[in-house]
Amino acid sequence: MNFPKDVALDAMSVQLLQLLEGYDPAAARLMAAEAERQATTLELIASENHVSMQVMHAAGSWLTNKYAEGYPGKRYYGGCEFHDGIEDLARERAKQLFGCRFANVQPHSGANANTATFMAMCEPGDTILSLPIKSGGHLSHGLKVNFSGTFYKIAEYDLDATTELLDYDAIATVARACKPKMIICGYSAYSRVIDFARFRAIADEVGAFLMADIAHIAGLVAAGVHPSPFPHAHVVTTTTHKTLRGPRGGLILTNDEEIAKKIDRKVFPGTQGGPLMHIIGAKAIAFGEALKPEFTVYCQQVVKNASALAAGLVKRGYRLCSGGTDNHLMLVDLRARDANLTGANAEKWLETAGIIVNKNGIPNDPRPPVATSGLRLGTPALTTRGLKEADMELVANWIDRVLGSSGDAATVTAVRAEVRAFCLKFPLFH
Ligand code: DSN
């Protein structure tokens, strides 16, 4: 395998590539290239992270071989003894992590968790109140082309047009008018603290359920760095692979026994068949990691790094939506730096320089989603690698050199070399 000598790989990954080299060279080449890409680029996509070696290899283990439809103690297949143990371990750790009574660890993804939750809490045609995707919501919260917007009547609240913050009085007004069956809070591109207690007060006033989708901030919530949706939300959904730093997957939590029973039925057999037991095994290990004191320190550093990166960008003339960040991400309005700069160009130029980001619409963005005026940047992955506040100044500087030069080829090449050398000082596993 022609793997670059200066990129460190853990022993099991080396073995895997060696196993594949003669067996399936096409797959081996692509997997090696991806390992190198991750090791030599700066990952600033707010919804991504680098899992530990243990979580990564558990996700590729013999647990993948089993059908375990049903739940621990009530399976539709024989041979599930140890799978029951694994799923129980994941459930118990999830409950401990979020301080709640019930956990379903089977959703294959966050969108699947939301599908099962919608089906458990509402009937088709019921009204659901949520923030639209264009303002930082999520497609599974009611986008027309998604199941949520197809089978439910979606009412929307929006951010305040001036402050770009949640306006709880305005949300209450919309809720009184549309009388939803369920209100959704929790977002994909909102950089401020969410007041779950206030949302619950609004839900109670109009007789609605409150669903909190904490996919982005789950790690911060588990670590106590962002307020918890419990005891306010009736149901909490999340992914497990963002700030929580687990394998790709979903999770549903609640304190209510009746809701928990409905959720279980709607995950299986309602919307899924056999659970991905290798992923549930990896979730158990990741939740165990998140219960350790080091994880709290990690999440605190994620937030400190986001503040430092935000300051570095503001200093260089960028505008941050809502004026800043309280969590792991920021939404950058590029037009303040250069009126012609689009998110699409910024994403492309930065990728060539080894800085991985995603274009993102900003509130009331005049440009279409394929262009956008913004970038969404997050610090979970960089913090996993060990970067600290001082490093954020370097990152802001690299970003600005690339964007300030409008993607000039010589500048991008120079930054790419610097980023690669820098990344090699921060191996993915340490
Ligand atoms: N696509 C995810 C994100 O990037 O935020 C949400 O599902």
Q: What is the pLDDT of residues 323-370, one digit of tens each?
A: 999 999 999 999 999 999 999 999 999 999 999 999 999 999 999 999
The CATH number that applies at residue 99 is 3.40.640.10
The answer to whether position 243 is within a domain reads yes
Residue count of the chain: 430
Closest atom, ligand 1, to C-alpha of 216? 5
Verify that 282 and 300 share a domain, yes or no: no
Verify that 286 and 359 share a domain, yes or no: no
Verify that 133 and 231 share a domain, yes or no: yes
136 lines ligand 1 (CB under 6 A): no
The answer to whether position 307 is within a domain reads yes
Identify the band that residue 429 occupies on the pLDDT scale cut at 50, 70 and 90.
Answer: confident
The residue out of 244, 265, 290 marking a domain boundary is 290
412-416, long-range: CB < 8 A, 24+ apart: 412/349, 412/352, 412/353, 415/353, 415/354, 415/355, 416/352, 416/353, 416/354
Each residue of 289-321: pLDDT tens digit?
999 999 999 999 999 999 999 999 999 999 999
Question: Rounded to an integer, what distance in angstroms lies between the CA atom of residue 36 and that of residue 363?
Answer: 35
The domain tally of the chain equals 2
Verify that 155 and 127 share a domain, yes or no: yes
Verify that 266 and 350 share a domain, yes or no: no
- pLDDT, residue 125, reads 98
From 188, 238, 251, the mutation candidate for ligand 1 (largest count of ligand atoms within 8 A of CB) is 188
Give percent of the chain with pLDDT exceeding 90: 99
The residue out of 232, 265, 290 marking a domain boundary is 290
Rounded to 5°, the CA angle 57-61-62 comes to 170
47 lines ligand 1 (CB under 6 A): yes
Each residue of 103-149: pLDDT tens digit?
999 999 999 999 999 999 999 999 999 999 999 999 999 999 999 99
Q: Point out the residues that are catalytic.
A: 67, 69, 213, 239, 242, 248
138 lines ligand 1 (CB under 6 A): yes
47: CA distance to ligand 1 center in Å? 6
Instruction: Indicate whether 63 pLDDT > 90.
Output: yes
Q: Compute the mean pLDDT over every residue in the chain, rounded to the nearest whole number.
A: 97
Closest to 90 (Cα-Cα) out of 232, 244, 251: 251
Verify that 281 and 365 share a domain, yes or no: no
Buried b / exposed e across 229-239, counting CB within 10 Å, b at 16+?
A: bbebbbbbbbb
Verify that 204 and 272 share a domain, yes or no: yes
Domain extent, residue 276, equals 62-290
Mean pLDDT of 187-209: 98
Verify that 282 and 208 share a domain, yes or no: yes
For ligand 1, atom 6, name the residue with the nearest CA.
188
Q: Where are the strands (E) in 334-379, listed by range?
A: 355-356, 358-360, 374-378
Verify that 66 and 102 share a domain, yes or no: yes
For ligand 1, atom 1, name the residue with the nearest CA.
47
Buried b / exposed e across 350-371, counting CB within 10 Å, b at 16+?
A: bbebbbbbbbbbbbebebeeee
The residue out of 235, 257, 290 marking a domain boundary is 290
Verify that 268 and 387 share a domain, yes or no: no
Determine how many CB atoms are found less than 10 A away from the CB of residue 382: 26
Closest to 281 (Cα-Cα) out of 16, 52, 57, 49: 57
375: CA distance to ligand 1 center in Å? 13
110 lines ligand 1 (CB under 6 A): yes
For ligand 1, atom 5, name the residue with the nearest CA.
188
Question: Rounded to an integer, what distance in angstroms lies between the CA atom of residue 37 and that of residue 271?
Answer: 35
Q: What are phi and psi of 291, to 5 degrees?
A: -80, -10
Question: Rounded to an integer, what distance in angstroms lies between the CA atom of residue 270 and that of residue 265?
Answer: 6
Judge residue 11's burial from the number of C-beta atoms within 10 Å of its C-beta, 0-12 exposed, 13-18 middle, 19 or more buried.
Answer: exposed
For ligand 1, atom 2, name the residue with the nearest CA.
47
Verify that 304 and 367 share a domain, yes or no: yes
The answer to whether position 33 is within a domain reads no
Identify the band that residue 1 occupies on the pLDDT scale cut at 50, 70 and 90.
Answer: confident
The answer to whether position 210 is within a domain reads yes
The CATH number that applies at residue 410 is 3.90.1150.10
- pLDDT, residue 311, reads 98
Closest atom, ligand 1, to C-alpha of 188? 5
Closest atom, ligand 1, to C-alpha of 189? 5
Verify that 284 and 298 share a domain, yes or no: no
The answer to whether position 39 is within a domain reads no
Each residue of 221-259: pLDDT tens digit?
999 999 999 999 999 999 999 999 999 999 999 999 999
Mean pLDDT of 70-88: 98
Identify the band that residue 212 occupies on the pLDDT scale cut at 50, 70 and 90.
Answer: very high
Each residue of 362-413: pLDDT tens digit?
999 999 999 999 999 999 999 999 999 999 999 999 999 999 999 999 999 9
144-151, long-range: CB < 8 A, 24+ apart: 146/111, 147/115, 147/118, 148/114, 148/115, 148/118, 151/118, 151/124, 151/125
